[in-house]
C-alpha cells in the first residue's frame, strides 16, 4: 500500500480561531485527495474532493468558505477550518489516489480537532 500522513494528529484550539491540517502522500503522487469528517460512533462523511491545481469540489451541505481546501502539489493538500466553533470538533481524515494505482484511496491516520 501507499503511505499518507496527516499533521497534526490532534489539535485543540479556541473558538473563533482557524486551524490548518496537512495531508501528505509520502510515496506517490496524488492527483486527487479527499477530505472526510467523522463524528463519534458515526461513519465517514465525504466533505470535498480536490484535484491538484484545481479548486476543490464540495459535497452538498459543506460550507466552502468555512473549510478551505488547497491542493497545490501532487503530494500535499491542506484543510483549513476557519473561525472554528465547538460543533466543528471532529475527526478529520484525508485520503489520496491516482490513476496509476487504480484510483484506490489510501487514507491518512486522521486528525482529532477539539474546539473549546
Partner 1 sequence: DAKTTQPPSMDCAEGRAANLPCNHSTISGNEYVYWYRQIHSQGPQYIIHGLKNNETNEMASLIITEDRKSSTLILPHATLRDTAVYYCIVRVVLGTYKYIFGTGTRLKVLA
The site for partner 1 (CB under 8 A) is made up of: 1, 4, 6, 32, 34, 36, 43-46, 49, 51, 57, 91, 93, 95, 97, 103-110, 112
| CB of residue 59 to partner 1, shortest distance in Å | 9
| CB of residue 18 to partner 1, shortest distance in Å | 23
Check: CB of residue 48 under 8 Å from CB of residue 56: yes
Distance (Å, whole) CA 36 – CA 43: 10
The CA dihedral of 98, 103, 106, 108, to the nearest 10 degrees, is 60
Which residue, 15 or 57, has its beta carbon nearer to partner 1?
57
Distance (Å, whole) CA 91 – CA 71: 20
| CB of residue 93 to partner 1, shortest distance in Å | 5
Which residue, 38 or 82, has its beta carbon nearer to partner 1?
38
Amino acid at each position: 500500500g501507499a503511505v499518507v500522513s496527516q499533521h497534526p494528529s490532534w489539535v485543540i484550539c479556541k473558538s473563533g480561531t482557524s486551524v490548518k491540517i496537512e495531508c501528505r502522500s509520502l510515496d506517490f503522487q496524488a492527483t486527487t485527495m479527499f477530505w472526510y469528517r467523522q463524528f463519534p460512533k458515526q461513519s465517514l462523511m465525504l466533505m470535498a474532493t480536490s484535484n491538484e491545481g484545481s479548486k476543490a469540489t464540495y459535497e452538498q451541505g459543506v460550507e466552502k468558505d468555512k473549510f478551505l481546501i488547497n491542493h497545490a502539489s501532487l503530494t500535499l493538500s491542506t484543510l483549513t477550518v476557519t473561525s472554528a466553533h465547538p460543533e466543528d470538533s471532529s475527526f478529520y481524515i484525508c485520503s489520496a489516489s491516482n490513476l496509476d494505482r487504480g484510483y484506490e484511496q489510501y487514507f491518512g491516520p486522521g486528525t482529532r480537532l477539539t474546539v473549546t
